[in-house]
Amino acid sequence: MNPVTLNKYQLIIMADDKQVVLERILQVTRYRGFLINGMNAEVNTGNNIATITMSVSSERPITLLIDQINKLIDIKSVKVDNSVAQIKQHSA
Amino acid sequence: MTKSKTLTGGALLFEVLQEHGVQHVFGYPGGAIMPIYDALYDSDVQHYLCRHEQGAAFSAVGYARAAGTVGVCLATSGPGATNLITGLADALADSIPVVAITGQVPTAAMGSDAFQEIDIFGLSLACTKHSFQVTDINELEKVLHQAFEIALEGRHGPVLVDIPKDIQLAEVTQRLNKLSHLKNKVKLPLADISKALDLLTHAKQPILYVGGGVGMANAVDEVRDFAEKTGMPSVSTLKGLGAINPDNENYLGMLGMHGTKTANIAVQECDLLVVVGARFDDRVTGKLDEFAPNAKVIHFDIDTAEINKRRAADAAILGDLKGNLPLLTMPLYISAWQQRLQQMNTDFAWRYDHPGDNIFAPAVLKTVSDLMPSNTCITTDVGQHQMWAAQHMNFDDPSNFLTSGGMGTMGFGLPAAIGAQISRPHDTVIAVSGDGSIMMNVQELATIKRYQIPVKVVLIDNAKLGMVRQWQDLFFDGRLSETDLSDNPDFVMLATAFDIKAKLITKKSEVKAAVEEMLDHDGPYLLQVKIDSAENVWPLVPPNTANDKMMESV
Ligand SMILES: Cc1ncc(C[n+]2csc(CCOP(=O)(O)OP(=O)(O)O)c2C)c(N)n1
Ligand SMILES: [Mg+2]
């Protein structure tokens, strides 16, 4: 079998604090073919903005996921955190 | 001036619907939506009682697609809500603006596995563009406005609003001003106009690839103008049919799995694809790696996520097609290419001289198409008859050909035709259905009966799940597993039971008179057309094969 290159990315997502927003992000991420390696979500109670950091891996380009998450109505922004090195995993 | 008045959540719903110009809704009542149905009793909004919530959802879809507005459907909690899901999935796949209202058990009972409680909000995540659950009566008005706004904003889609029973009953003061517009996300305009101009002026063999987005962007005029002024040969997806004038001499027909030979060869040979409101669906591209292998791509779309999703764009033009396409509309000098394709159009034209007495489905659909009044709206179900309708009928606008494209949902045709007919009472509406598909929402014949909706049904009866049978014959060694329908009910008797005039024809010689009789009939009519069960749809590009390697017969 050809080796599969899994790229790892860290995303920073800002969203309106709605109960369902995490579920939406999880659903889109799984459906579009990205594995979630870790996640952290916090709400700023002052402005009701949630900040979600999520590390994901996939063979697919990260722009595919960013564009889809961006389409969710409650999302304010999605960025790749470039300070976290992208790790390429090779597996058989 | 801001007026205000006090009313229940249920009454507020209909006030807001009317503010958005909604005159007709499709639905089915039940326990958890009773306060809304009680408010309906006093409302001017006209409700059509469908006989299954799936029928209500598809009628809303048909209504939206035929009229270019938002379709609205209502259902109760639990099974009522789950019955909407197929219709919502269909609307999501085809980007149709629909607002679905579901009743929910009272907030105090939510999460207790109450009677007819299902987490439709959770279920909606994968089959709607967006969804809301209203747990505070003071949010209801804002949410309802947002539902309409989201359904129509950017790429259209279905929105679900789940309203618990106590919220429907609660009293609230209506603010009567459209509040709280969505915060538009700042998106960078992505418009490689100069790159696109460069590609366009250097192309020798360009093709215009037209999708369903054209109709939804209300850009049929702009696309026709582009096709005329550039002279660019064009091909259409299933959902794009009607966007290009079928009389345009450089129009090559539908591309893809059951596309015309000319369209598929032209796309494989082109050096530039100008993509308008289309998304390189797998039914269009065949084997993606070999699709239009020599072409540069200019991609116009409203949805950023479609750019570079399946095929990289050399120039991406994001935003409103109506404004953007004129920027590239100019004469091109491609006469050698045009002439070659026009010759192929002639050489590979459809033939209707089918031997024998049996009825040839393509010829029937061609006859219907030739005889139907202008601005007739055709809906289809899914299968061989759908592909024959796409191949052999002409449509003067995308809103006149309603077919389940992305989802390919059997059962779409009849309820969609009902919705279309209600939105356009003065136009002829014809559902082209199959003997398998019609049974999937056959209960909607009762809706036709009740409201005397003058929908015509052309039932292409091959006594088979024909499309699956064709694949079993071609790709599964003729092992015909569960595709025989030779014990179908008597469709004429069935229609008659619903007071619908019906007729069966079995011979070629009967076709023309029968079609005329159907079209001349004032009320609903079902024409059952018996065809040979062994007929196949040609051409066919086998799965995962390049589009020029089509099969043309066995
Ligand atoms: C809801 C649903 N279930 C199953 C299918 C798979 N399917 C696609 S075409 C087809 C056969 C349709 O039969 P019929 O309506 O008689 O049309 P025909 O192909 O015979 O013209 C089936 C079962 C589908 N598209 N939709
Ligand atoms: Mg059939």
| CATH code, A28 | 3.30.70.260
Q: How many residues does chain B have?
A: 554
Percent of chain B with pLDDT over 90: 95
Distance CA A75, CA B525 (A): 49
DSSP H helices, B94-202, are: 120-124, 137-152, 165-169, 193-202
Q: Would residue A62 count as lying in a domain?
A: yes
pTM, entire model: 0.96
Is the shortest distance between the CB of B461 and ligand 1 below 6 Å?
A: no
**Band of pLDDT at residue B147, cut at 50, 70 and 90:** very high
Residues β-bridged to residue B507: B358
Other Cβ atoms within 10 Å of B530 Cβ, number: 19
For residue A52, the number of C-alpha atoms closer than 13 Å in the C-beta half-sphere is 25
Nearest-Cα residue of chain A relative to residue B133: A20
Q: Would residue A18 count as lying in a domain?
A: yes
Question: What ipTM does this complex have?
Answer: 0.92
Is B53 part of the annotated catalytic residue set?
Answer: yes
* Options B116, B174, B342, B443, the catalytic residue: B116
Q: DSSP 3-state assignment of B36?
A: helix
If 0-12 CB within 10 Å is exposed, 13-18 middle and 19+ buried, where does residue B181 land?
A: exposed
pLDDT for A87? 56
Distance CA A50, CA A30 (A): 20
For B236, list phi and psi in degrees, rounded to 5.
-130, 150
Number of domains in chain A: 1
Is the shortest distance between the CB of B413 and ligand 1 below 6 Å?
A: no
**Closest by Cα among B410, B417, B407 to B90:** B407
Distance CA B128, CA B130 (A): 5
Distance CA B75, CA B85 (A): 11
Q: DSSP 3-state assignment of B383?
A: coil
B161 vs A: CB within 8 A? no
pLDDT for A18? 86
State the amino acid at position B154 in one-letter form. G
User: With the CA atoms of B346, B349, B354 and B360 taken in that order, what torsion angle do they form, in degrees rounded to the nearest 10?
Assistant: -150
pLDDT for A83? 72
Distances (CA, A) of B484 to B113, B388, B494, B533, B554: 41, 20, 20, 9, 21
If 0-12 CB within 10 Å is exposed, 13-18 middle and 19+ buried, where does residue A42 land?
A: exposed
pLDDT at A4 over 90: no
Q: Would residue A58 count as lying in a domain?
A: yes
What spacing in Å lies between the alpha carbon of B90 and ligand 1's midpoint? 15
CA distance B237 to chain A (A): 23
**Band of pLDDT at residue B510, cut at 50, 70 and 90:** very high
pLDDT for B384? 98
Is the shortest distance between the CB of B75 and ligand 1 below 6 Å?
A: no
List of domains in chain B = 5-174 (3.40.50.970), 193-347 (3.40.50.1220), 361-530 (3.40.50.970)
User: Are A70 and B185 within 8 A, CB to CB?
Assistant: yes
Q: Would residue A45 count as lying in a domain?
A: yes
pLDDT for B337? 98
**Band of pLDDT at residue A88, cut at 50, 70 and 90:** low
Residues β-bridged to residue A36: A56
Find residues 19-78 of chain A whose CB sits inside 8 Å of chain B.
20, 23-24, 27, 31, 63-64, 67-68, 70-73, 75-77
Q: Would residue A60 count as lying in a domain?
A: yes
pLDDT (tens digit, 9 = 90+) per residue, B122-142? 999 999 999 999 999 999 999
Q: Would residue A65 count as lying in a domain?
A: yes
pLDDT for B393? 98
Distance CA B458, CA B365 (A): 9
Q: Would residue A2 count as lying in a domain?
A: no
**Residue B98 in contact with residue B75, Cβ under 8 Å?**
no
CA distance A68 to chain B (A): 6
pLDDT for B548? 95
Indicate which atom in ligand 1 lies nearest the CA of residue B407.
25
Is the shortest distance between the CB of B9 and ligand 1 below 6 Å?
A: no
Partner residue facing B305 (CB), from A23, A31, A68? A68
Nearest-Cα residue of chain A relative to residue B310: A64
pLDDT at B11 over 80: yes
pLDDT for B2? 53
Percent of chain A with pLDDT over 90: 71
pLDDT at B185 over 70: no
Is the shortest distance between the CB of B537 and ligand 1 below 6 Å?
A: no
pLDDT at A39 over 80: yes
* Options B53, B117, B444, B535, the catalytic residue: B53
If 0-12 CB within 10 Å is exposed, 13-18 middle and 19+ buried, where does residue B229 land?
A: middle
For residue B249, the number of C-alpha atoms closer than 13 Å in the C-beta half-sphere is 10
Residue B517 makes CB contacts below 8 A (sequence gap 6+) with B503, B525
**Which residues constitute the domain of residue A57?**
7-91
Region B185-194 average pLDDT: 69
**Band of pLDDT at residue B318, cut at 50, 70 and 90:** very high
**Closest by Cα among B235, B251, B223, B236 to B326:** B223
**Closest by Cα among B49, B48, B36 to B10:** B36
Indicate which atom in ligand 1 lies nearest the CA of residue B381.
15
pLDDT for B178? 62
Distance CA B539, CA B545 (A): 13
pLDDT for B1? 45
pLDDT (tens digit, 9 = 90+) per residue, B203-237? 999 999 999 999 999 999 999 999 999 999 999 99
**Residue B365 in contact with residue B430, Cβ under 8 Å?**
no
**Closest by Cα among B407, B185, B223, B199 to B322:** B223
pLDDT for A92? 38
pLDDT for B191? 79
Region B373-377 average pLDDT: 97
pLDDT at B186 over 70: no
Nearest 5°: CA angle at B290, between B233 and B265?
30
Q: In the predicted model, what is the mean pLDDT of chain B? A: 96
pLDDT at B49 over 50: yes
Indicate which atom in ligand 1 lies nearest the CA of residue B464.
20
Q: Where do we find the tokens 């809706």?
A: B447
pLDDT for B554? 84
pLDDT (tens digit, 9 = 90+) per residue, B463-507? 999 999 999 999 999 999 999 999 999 999 999 999 999 999 999
User: Are B185 and A24 within 8 A, CB to CB?
Assistant: no
Region B396-422 average pLDDT: 98
